Amino acid sequence: MGVFDNREKAQENKYFHDAELKFQAISRRNKLLGHWAAHELAVPASAVEGYVMEVVRADFQEPGDQDLIRKVLGDFKAKGKALSESDLKAKLEAFMREAIKQLEAEAKG
């Protein structure tokens, strides 16, 4: 392999590694969001993990976060709980920071 082949292979590996980390962080963020929402919605303890998986699966319906936002806002509305889209987006950002922090700690650990 030449120098350019090595460089290209390294770039491909970095791209796939970064994509995998992003997927893991989003998945972790969605689980954190699901646990928070379950608590806020007073989901029974026996149903929390099922609800968390519903939230995680909701994010696979379409690209971006809008499907996830729709799901959680709909659940809050159905329970008569107030939650604005901007507040939910702020929660998503906070949970993303937490997910990244957790993944970094696991990588070091």
Please report which helix (H) or strand (E) contains residue 36, including its range. helix 3-40
What H or E segment, with its residue span, contains residue 66? helix 66-78
pTM (2 decimals)?
Answer: 0.85
Query: What is the pLDDT confidence band of residue 49, given thresholds at 50, 70 and 90?
Result: very high
The answer to whether residue 21 scores a pLDDT higher than 90 is no
Domains of the chain in sequence order: 3-108 (1.10.790.20)
Q: Binning pLDDT at 50, 70 and 90, where does residue 84 land?
A: very high
Q: List C-alpha distances in Å: 65 to 9, 14, 39, 43.
A: 31, 25, 21, 23
